[in-house]
Structure 1
Amino acid sequence: MIGICLEVIVISIGLGYKYHIYRQERDNYNELLIKEFQKNDKLKDQLNEKLSEKVEHYKISEVEALYQKQINELKLTSLLSQMNPHFIFNALNSIKLYIINNESKLAARYLNKFSKLIRRILEASTTKEVSLQEELETMDLYMTIENIRFSNEIDFQIKVDESVSLETIKVPPLLLQPFLENSIWHGLSSKKTNKKITLSIAENNKKHLSIIIADNGIGRKASAKIKAEKSINRKSIGINLTKERLTNFVKNLKKNYSITYEDLLDDNKTAIGTKVILKIPLF
């Protein structure tokens, strides 16, 4: 357990410093980040135009190298920035309570899961895609850590249709994290009991992967009201970055992705949750 603690402390100090910087000018920085993704797309289009025009004085290899360098520099920043900057600190504080209360087994368990999650986040910065199996495992780790702060009151379930091949289907890493975070903080955080999130995976005519995240929270209308009353002006940076990454991910495919939000209502038209439907074309 001491070894795990030391590993987590070392990793957290380094990441903590990065998050301290991100928090200072988070919104302005991330808006610039999104613009940089768009600039990179334009750069690639310009490269293709120059290739077709056969302009000899352009050193294509240099332009390609610049494009790839910019993409690589954005990868880690975008993945870390899409997560709530308080996540790591709050998670460590929650785990620290187990240590203070002499609950060593629980502390060791969550420290181990937290360490695995941080490794997954860092590894995600070096790859364009991961298997759906890996993504679901990472999301399970993420939800386990987030659930500590809710005294493990959130009932999180993953349901996968038997026809889905988790090992062969590829998705961008950390794709689902912003949607789960929204379900927690906009749907369930203001609810006192009976908190549920269900992540369902299925194939749609073997042409699209259908991912549904449903919560039984307070609903979008009530959440927007609370946000307005508290004068919260936090933009959905994580969702915006995810859209940019999905756009790049499916760029060479004939079909695009889609994200749909649905309000879940009872017979009296009262909000009983929110459902997000994400459809990604299969290769």
Structure 2
Amino acid sequence: MKKWLIGFVLLVFFGVAFGQEADLSVVQENIERYKAIKYANHPRGFASWIQGILFILCAYHLLAFFENRNKAYLFYSLYVFCFLLYFSFSNFHLFYSGLTQPLNEYLFYPIQFFGYAAYIAFGQQVINTKKVVPEWHRFMNYGIRITLAMGVTFFLIQLMGLSTSTLTLFSILLFPTSLIAVGTYVVLAAKLKYKHVFFFVSGSFIYFILAYVALFYSLQGTAGKYTFSFTPLVFMQIGAVIESLMFALLVGYQQRKDRLARENVELALAKQAQQATELQLKALRAQMNPHFIFNSLNSINHFIIKEDAEQASDYLTKFSKLIRQTLEYSNQNTISLEAEVKHLSLYIKLEQIRMKSSFDYIQDIDPALNLSSISIPPLVLQPFVENAIWHGLNPKTSENKRLLLSIQPSESGIDIYIEDNGVGRVAASQQPKLRRSFGTQITKERMNTYQPDGLVAIEFIDLEDAKGPAGTRVIVRLKSE
């Protein structure tokens, strides 16, 4: 492929070198006269306005490329930059004309081919030909290489001073090149039927039609047949601005489409995360229910073995009610704090029966609180109460065992206190016969899953008095959002 491109460049180069007319005085005279008309009658204000629009479009999309690394922005900026540089060659009144005018002699024609190469690359990006139509993508890659080779060829031609018939050669080579480029995208537009492809093809058509109008009258001018009082470049400038604006709309449309796609992906991920959270909560509840049932069945078995029919009947009645509530709550993600407290009170009564009323239960709830309006995961407080009873109060040998449930407002929300005056956590951990409680760890996981943003905090405090450990206080802090 590289050898083919080198051969193509040499063919065009030597074709121009040996194809010069013997008598060039008439042609040269017409060209000089045409240039005088072209530059003298170029509308300065309009040209500067065109330059301003193109500069803003180029700079904005170049910055957009550096921000998100989307190559479509880069190739669009390069395409507009080629326009910007090309049109500056015919405007001597810009603040940067002193920098661009020396390049006119060498880049007037090459810059157009370089721009067309950027145009093809831009089309590849916005249509996503590499993924949608890979066979056309490879074909366009060849088009980019050929167009760049033409630009290099014309640069060499102008560098060697063989520019007398350059305009004619330029028009001959440009026509099939642009025709193939536009034709390619027309075929893709008909094949793909994407809205953004319509923007691309429409802008391209408008530009190429007006560009060929400008080229036609430019050829007329070099032949001495130019009749207008203004430069034909105006047609090309109008086409370039219209095309650039349509391409900007295309980029904006594509950007909006990408943003909506990202939002849909984020929404889908959020739904998946929510589903995962719900599944995790269900799994944790599934662990909680067998845990509680196992404890209750042990209590029933204890009364049956002791042949205490009245206690067994009372316990079974309360237990069946508790199981019914538990099954009902297990299908809910949250319940009211009021329902949780009632359920917890029933559980504590069952434990009091089991322990033969060896401890007192005290409730201290602020009457100003509306517990029915506060939501928490179901059965979330029961493991802490269970620990207080079986790990704190049960090992205690002295009398006056006490369990406190207190719910009070706080500066950040609501604090729930579960306090016992038992042996304390240190002494409980040293009792070999006390089984390990799985409920507390599960509850922590449930609370973290329910409020992953740190709106729920659980704190353990070891109580002490003059004699030493005096129980444990658990604080569940529910923070307001």
Does 1:181 find its partner at 2:389? no
- Distance in 1 (CA, whole Å) between partners of 2:317 and 2:363 is 21
Does 1:282 find its partner at 2:480? yes
Report the equivalent of 1:271: 469
Report 1:1-283 matches (<5 A): 54=261, 71-82=277-288, 83-84=291-292, 86-96=294-304, 100-103=307-310, 106-192=311-397, 193-205=399-411, 207-227=412-432, 234=436, 236-251=437-452, 256-268=455-467, 270-283=468-481
Aligned residue identity for 1:217: G
1:169–1:282: 8 Å Cα contact kept in structure 2?
Answer: no
Percent same amino acid at aligned positions? 33
Q: CA deviation at 1:167?
A: 1.1
1:258–1:278: 8 Å Cα contact kept in structure 2?
Answer: yes
In angstroms, what is the RMSD of aligned CA positions?
A: 3.1
- Structure with higher RCO (Cα < 8 A, 6+ apart): 1
Q: CA deviation at 1:148?
A: 2.1
2:455–2:480: 8 Å Cα contact kept in structure 1?
Answer: no
Report the equivalent of 1:25: none
Q: CA deviation at 1:185?
A: 1.6
2:338–2:372: 8 Å Cα contact kept in structure 1?
Answer: yes
Q: CA deviation at 1:212?
A: 0.6
CA deviations 1:157-188 (Å, max 9, x no partner) are 22101221111111111110110111112111
Please state whether the residue corresponding to 1:167 is helix, strand or coil.
Answer: helix
CA 1:233–1:136: 2 relative to 1, 3 Å = closer
Q: When you count helix as a share of all residues, which structure comes out higher?
A: 2
2:278–2:333: 8 Å Cα contact kept in structure 1?
Answer: no
Please state whether the residue corresponding to 1:54 is helix, strand or coil.
Answer: helix
1:80–1:121: 8 Å Cα contact kept in structure 2?
Answer: no
- Distance in 2 (CA, whole Å) between partners of 1:58 and 1:75 is 24
Please state whether the residue corresponding to 1:156 is helix, strand or coil.
Answer: strand
2:391–2:425: 8 Å Cα contact kept in structure 1?
Answer: yes
Please state whether the residue corresponding to 2:341 is helix, strand or coil.
Answer: helix
CA deviations 1:69-104 (Å, max 9, x no partner) are 655554444224233563132132245468x4442x
2:413–2:479: 8 Å Cα contact kept in structure 1?
Answer: yes
- Distance in 2 (CA, whole Å) between partners of 1:250 and 1:125 is 18
2:281–2:446: 8 Å Cα contact kept in structure 1?
Answer: no
1:250–1:281: 8 Å Cα contact kept in structure 2?
Answer: no
Q: CA deviation at 1:113?
A: 1.4
**Count of matched residue positions in the alignment of Structure 1 and Structure 2:** 221
Please state whether the residue corresponding to 1:157 is helix, strand or coil.
Answer: strand
Report the equivalent of 2:239: none
Please state whether the residue corresponding to 2:431 is helix, strand or coil.
Answer: helix
Q: CA deviation at 1:225?
A: 2.0
Aligned residue identity for 1:266: D
Please state whether the residue corresponding to 1:86 is helix, strand or coil.
Answer: helix
CA 1:149–1:251: 2 relative to 1, 3 Å = same
CA 1:60–1:186: 2 relative to 1, 3 Å = same
- Distance in 2 (CA, whole Å) between partners of 1:199 and 1:52 is 51
In structure 2, runs of 5+ residues without a counterpart are: 1-257
Between stretches 192-201 and 131-140, larger displacement belongs to 192-201
In structure 1, runs of 5+ residues without a counterpart are: 1-50
CA 1:171–1:267: 2 relative to 1, 3 Å = same
Q: When you count strand as a share of all residues, which structure comes out higher?
A: 1
CA 1:65–1:190: 2 relative to 1, 3 Å = same
Q: CA deviation at 1:249?
A: 2.1
- Distance in 1 (CA, whole Å) between partners of 2:414 and 2:394 is 29
2:419–2:474: 8 Å Cα contact kept in structure 1?
Answer: yes
TM-score by length of 1: 0.67
CA 1:196–1:80: 2 relative to 1, 3 Å = farther
Please state whether the residue corresponding to 2:458 is helix, strand or coil.
Answer: strand
Aligned residue identity for 1:204: S
Please state whether the residue corresponding to 2:371 is helix, strand or coil.
Answer: coil
Q: CA deviation at 1:222?
A: 1.2
